[in-house]
Amino acid sequence: MRVRAGEAYVPPGPPQGFGITEPSPRELVTVALGEYISDVSSVADLSAGPAMIPRALAETASAALTLGDFSQGYELTGPILETIKFIPIVDLFICTETLEHLDDPEANLQAIRGKCTNLLVSTPIDQPLETAGGGHCWVWSRSDVEEMLVATGFTLQAFVELDMTLGWMPGYVKFGIWACR
């Protein structure tokens, strides 16, 4: 069941994660799923943070790369609904660990749908409401996210669940990662 968890997070400065040099298990699994998306000559991520995922996938595919973020640090800076107007249609749009922070994830997905052939998206799923911090506006299930993706015009192609709640890294959550057309 989808539940409102809090208000949208407005970062005070550069995106969290700058300076991190080692990819997380979630980033590695997301890249591995993304490598199966074929015919990619252009990649965009407008919530890029440290941009490990889009850089890795663009390099693997020898694709053109467009990056942006809500926080300063990229040429395209601001909310996705504003910055998406400045990018061309791309073969692969990456939206990881972002939807749960947005007041209106559906509006953002609709805007993204008009700018991409494929979407790679990840978000925490089945997160207990009491643990939803860090500016998470939403907690939801796999089916909630899939309904939202389909309702905004995407076709589900693949899904991976990464459960990091089992004690290996305390405080971590379960992630859903989708490849869509």
Rounded to two decimals, what is the model's pTM? Answer: 0.89
Tokens 């973020």 -> residue = 69
Residue 87 lies in a domain: yes
Residue 4 lies in a domain: no
Whether residue 82 is predicted with pLDDT greater than 70 in this model: the reply is: yes
Predicted pLDDT of residue 13: 47
Residue 68 lies in a domain: yes
pLDDT digits (tens, 9 = 90+) for 29-77: 999 999 999 999 999 999 999 999 999 999 999 999 999 999 899 999 9
Residue 94 lies in a domain: yes
pLDDT band at 168 (very low <50, low <70, confident <90, very high): low
pLDDT band at 15 (very low <50, low <70, confident <90, very high): very low
Ramachandran region, residue 131 (left: φ > 0; alpha: ψ -120 to 50; beta: rest): alpha
Tell me the chain's radius of gyration from C-alpha atoms. Answer: 15
Which residues form the domain of 88? 27-125
Query: The domain that contains 52 carries what CATH number?
Result: 3.40.50.150
Predicted pLDDT of residue 9: 55
Predicted pLDDT of residue 2: 87
- DSSP letter for each residue of 29-89: HHHHHHTT--S--EEEESS-TT-HHHHHHHHHHT-EEEEEESSSSSSEES-HHHHGGGS--
What is the average per-residue pLDDT within 96-121? 98
Residue 151 lies in a domain: no
Nearest to 74, CA basis, from 23, 7, 11: 11
Q: How many domains does the chain divide into?
A: 1
Residue 89 lies in a domain: yes
Pairwise pLDDT comparison (163 vs 17), residue with the higher score: 163
